[in-house]
Structure 1
Amino acid sequence: AKEAVTEAERCDPTNIFTQFHIFKIAILEDNSDKALQAITTLENLLTDEKPEDNNLLTDRGSPTLLLSLAAQFALENGQHIVAGKALEYLAQHSDDPQQVLTALKCLFRLVLPKVSQMPESENKKKEMDRLVTCLNIALLKLAQPFDGETSTLDARSNEAHWFRKMAWNLAVQSNKDPVTMREFFILSYKLSQFCTSNQVILIMQKTCLLMAAAVDLEQGRKASTTFEQTNLLNRALEQIHKCKNIWNLLKQTGDFSNDPCETLLLLYEFEVKAKMNDPSLDSFLESVWELPHLESKTLETIASLAVEIPAHYPSIARKALKRALLLHKKKESIDVLKYSKCMHKLINLSVPDGASSADLCPLEEVWGYFEDALSLIRHTEGYPEMEILWLMTKSWNTGIFMYSRSKYVSAEKWCGLALHFLDHLGSLKRSYEIQMNVLYSELMEALDKNKGSLSVKSDNY
């Protein structure tokens, strides 16, 4: 048997059957490489052949019949890799949707156990891409009419269930490759649209779209160009809107009060709108602020996203943090650690280090934040000492900033506030007490003479 087929030999219809004979011999000889070469050559001949030049192949089913026989023969002889390739070709070229779906199911049963055990590698990536292609073929065939089925809708739904589960399982297995994982989740969602809708399907669809949006957002954060980021964020927004519709349907089927879906959708949509400078952001937030069950953690996340590049909405961040602090204070047992971190973020946004006077919030408002923190420190145990030190340093340097602007009354007021925080330091008080009192005395002298420039430095902030 020849190892290659020339262009002249391609016109000889017997050559196809010669190749099929070579394929069978290779299988019987347990020569998988030769069998793979023969099945590939056979596929090329079958798909390149023109019916008018070959009376033996006037029946359009003849090529797929040979591929089907090849797959069956390889399976019977334990050549699973070769059988998988024959099934793959069969699925690509058959016009019968049911035959394609059957071939693909057989292919998945052959390939999945092997792929599941493969370490992360380029070969595994190729196999996953191959399965993505196969699922796309299944999706295409599910959209076509099923001939000869007495219950077409049930049959289609059953087939779709099988493939959407495969796509789901592959997505879960692809957790180390987010882009591929997203592909499988989207395929699982699309395949589920051919299934009879119920609560289980709606939950699955909701999860698929949430996961896909999360991947797009993560990829958008790492995008190297604005164009790429915009495309990823727009794609995420599309999944978010679809998921919202499904979530609204799902809530009608039962109690989902413990499901974080609504919060995630809110945060995802806010991130997209903030990073794309969407003009509808303000109207979107109006509805967000009115939500009755917003948690402090959600508000703090909104604050972080509002100033995450390329977003720059410090006013939104401050508003979210102020609401979060109110929620912290309303709790029966206040979490001092969480409160202190939230207060730190709010003050840092309101009085950024190295900011000009134009960048500062009204200091009357900021003064209120410091007083709230000091009140909590006075009446509650456990406020982190490093946070007290930071508040002391921040208030002192704000006073020095006022002094540099010739606002002497404010300077004395803010530096005096720093001494109140000094009183509540624990083990660090001794390290800073002498320094602070000396600096305060010098400040008072400088205020009298309207000169001097003093600042306190902390090794930790």
Structure 2
Amino acid sequence: SDASLICRDLLAFEYMKRVCQHFESSPDLGSALVLHIELLLQRGKELLAKQKTENIITGHYTGKQLAPEALSCLHVLLWDQGSKHYEAGNYAEALEWYNYSVSFFKSGQIEPNLGKLQRNRASCFLQLQQLEKAKDAIREAERCDPESIFTLFGIYKIAILESNTEKAVEALSSMGLLSKSPLCNEDKLLVPETAASYLLSLAAQIAVENGKQEAAMKALEVLCQTSNDEAQVVTALRCLVRLVFSTTDESAERRDVNLDVLLPYLKMALQTLSRQSQMAAEQRTEAANWFRKTAWNSALQCEGSPDRMRDFFVLSYQLSLLCPTDRVLLMGQKTCLLMAAAASLELCRNSPYSAQVEEELTQALEHIQTCWEVWKTLKASESFPSDPTDSLLLLYEFETRAKLNDTKVEMILESILELENVDAKVLETMAALAMEAPAYFPRLCKKALRIALSLHKKQSQPDLAHCSKCIHDLIKLSLPSGVAEVEARALAEVWDYFEEALSIISAAPDVFPEMETLWLLTQAWNMGIMLYSLNQYMEAEKWCGLAMSFVHHLGFLRESYEAQMSDLYSKILDQLDKAKKNTMEN
């Protein structure tokens, strides 16, 4: 019955009291006193237990110290009591019990257990919003136990509350270094889990709650670097990605900074997910798909920054390899590789040729070759009649190989011509690329231009601007650049291009650009003058006559040019007559 229990408790306590009095001078008295306190606490008589504890503290400083074993048992009781009150939210009460324990340590004493105790006191002070006292306690903890990850965590928490981000980040870095060492089991007074990863996760949470994004990101970064749990690392990386995108600053400068911060997180995600791990296959696939989409969306923000765009698209492709293959995924892979190749080529166009550019081109070629494989897989299951991928891939491969001075460019031109619908504009682009430094394939360029011109002329309504451009480029490529290059075969070829131009102008005189007509006139006339200077009067007459044919198609410039050229043309004709007479006389 309750009455008998009460009676038994009274008898037990009375007996303990008598034992303590009887063995007051015995060295084992301390054990009895500690047992008495333990019984009081078990029966919920905290006030009496406090009185007994205070008596022991008084005795400790008046020559009646407990034996080391008994004192250790008392510390355990006091810490357990403090922990119980802390977990119940009675922080002032918890602090009182911890203070009892502190009372047994000498001033200036250095011992890891004291460091642990001071950390617990600091946590109580923080809960009671007594920041200065918490700082004093954590300083004592640092003095006693500086190499403890838990001490560093306390320093970190206070730094966050004081908005001292630099100190908080410094503490996190030290935590990262210490976390690689084996951890001793911490008492369970305040921290329910002892793993460094738990403390780092908690550090990130505290920073976010206090609006300290830099510290939160540092905590998560250290966690990613030190944790062996792939699932935990992946979760931390997701949090980091979200923190990067949480900024409200939408300026281009801030966007670029964020993208540069984001890239290594995605690379780490790829590295983590690529390892053989304990993660469930479904969890791994879901994470890979999430990071793949993040890389894709990031690439789309990289307009004007081809190097970033290339890196993000390549990452998106690499992450997609960790996902189950289907049509949507293959289409995404194709686009990633196409865009990566395009970005690499754009970088090369804007840079002087170097070993680095050559390496970039080689990588672009690898992306193109891989894209061909993906594209073939897609086409094996369905048709894509209006998809420009074939033309784009051939164009990119042509440019890459041309810049690498690869003779396979001729085969690529032939592949373009084998397409079902050859686009004249693609051929014009290839022609330009064939001559864009460091590439130099004039014969290939002219071939592409001739075919492009032919395709334009076959249209029901030919595009005269494009026709004009093709002829212009053909003439520019074929005209002798000096006296040494003037020979009959070259002149015959370029003559044909001029006549082609003249026929187009004659067919649509009001549409053909006048400045282009003037350019043709000038080139033909200059060729005639060069031949005249070489005493090739018959050829000179022929070319100058061709130039005069273009004069008739000038608009308001006709009168001016006609007057200037007629005088010189008459002199050429006179000189030609003299040459003929001399020939007959001889």
Give yes or no for TM over 0.5.
yes
Show the counterpart of 2:334.
Answer: 206
1:69 is matched with which residue: 202, 208, 211? 202
8 A Cα contact 2:528 2:539, kept in partner: yes
State whether structure 2 residue 430 is matched by structure 1 residue 302.
yes
State whether structure 2 residue 457 is matched by structure 1 residue 329.
yes
1:99 is matched with which residue: 226, 232, 242? 232
RMSD: 2.9
CA distance in structure 1 between the aligned counterparts of 2:373 and 2:487, rounded to whole angstroms: 41
8 A Cα contact 2:201 2:219, kept in partner: yes
Name the % identity. Answer: 47
State whether structure 2 residue 272 is matched by structure 1 residue 144.
no
CA distance in structure 1 between the aligned counterparts of 2:378 and 2:217, rounded to whole angstroms: 39
Structure 2 counterpart of 1:336, one-letter code: L
8 A Cα contact 1:24 1:35, kept in partner: yes
1:24 is matched with which residue: 154, 157, 173? 157
- Does 77-86 or 327-336 show the bigger shift? 77-86
Cα deviation 1:432-453 (Å, max 9, x = unaligned): 11112111101111223349xx
Structure 2 counterpart of 1:408, one-letter code: Y
Cα deviation 1:63-89 (Å, max 9, x = unaligned): 222212222333344433322221121
Map 1:31-430 → 2, pairs under 5 A: 31-47=164-180, 49=181, 51=182, 55-56=184-185, 62-114=195-247, 117-120=250-253, 127-147=258-278, 149=280, 152=281, 154-354=282-482, 356-357=484-485, 362-380=490-508, 381-430=510-559
Q: What SS is found at the alignment partner of 1:362?
A: helix
- Change in 2 beyond 3 A, CA 1:219/1:346: same
TM-score of the pair, normalised by structure 1: 0.86
8 A Cα contact 1:221 1:229, kept in partner: no
Q: Which runs of 5+ in 1 are unaligned?
A: 452-461
Q: What SS is found at the alignment partner of 1:120?
A: helix
Structure 2 counterpart of 1:343, one-letter code: I
CA distance in structure 2 between the aligned counterparts of 1:360 and 1:39, rounded to whole angstroms: 80
8 A Cα contact 2:524 2:547, kept in partner: yes
Show the counterpart of 1:445.
Answer: 574
What's the offset of the Cα at 1:32? 3.7
- Change in 2 beyond 3 A, CA 1:148/1:265: closer
Show the counterpart of 2:561.
Answer: 432
Q: Which has the higher contact order (CA 8 A, sep 6+)?
A: 1
Cα deviation 1:20-53 (Å, max 9, x = unaligned): 1122233344544443332233223223x3x2xx
CA distance in structure 1 between the aligned counterparts of 2:403 and 2:279, rounded to whole angstroms: 52
- Change in 2 beyond 3 A, CA 1:358/1:161: farther
Q: Which runs of 5+ in 2 are unaligned?
A: 1-134, 187-192, 581-586
8 A Cα contact 2:176 2:226, kept in partner: no
- Change in 2 beyond 3 A, CA 1:325/1:148: closer
Show the counterpart of 1:454.
Answer: none
Cα deviation 1:282-320 (Å, max 9, x = unaligned): 333333333332211111111111111111111111111
What's the offset of the Cα at 1:219? 2.2
CA distance in structure 1 between the aligned counterparts of 2:302 and 2:539, rounded to whole angstroms: 59
CA distance in structure 2 between the aligned counterparts of 1:437 and 1:10, rounded to whole angstroms: 103
Q: What SS is found at the alignment partner of 1:173?
A: coil
Q: What SS is found at the alignment partner of 1:327?
A: helix
Cα deviation 1:154-183 (Å, max 9, x = unaligned): 322211111011111211222233212221
8 A Cα contact 1:350 1:361, kept in partner: no
Cα deviation 1:389-411 (Å, max 9, x = unaligned): 11122222222233333333222
8 A Cα contact 1:209 1:243, kept in partner: yes
- Does 242-251 or 403-412 show the bigger shift? 403-412
CA distance in structure 2 between the aligned counterparts of 1:295 and 1:253, rounded to whole angstroms: 25
Show the counterpart of 2:119.
Answer: none
- Does 129-138 or 257-266 show the bigger shift? 257-266
- Does 258-267 or 421-430 show the bigger shift? 258-267
Structure 2 counterpart of 1:443, one-letter code: I
Cα deviation 1:116-153 (Å, max 9, x = unaligned): 624416xx65543332111111101211344263xx1x
- Change in 2 beyond 3 A, CA 1:56/1:187: same
- Does 347-356 or 366-375 show the bigger shift? 347-356
Q: What SS is found at the alignment partner of 2:247?
A: helix
- Does 164-173 or 350-359 show the bigger shift? 350-359
- Does 266-275 or 220-229 show the bigger shift? 220-229
8 A Cα contact 1:115 1:127, kept in partner: no
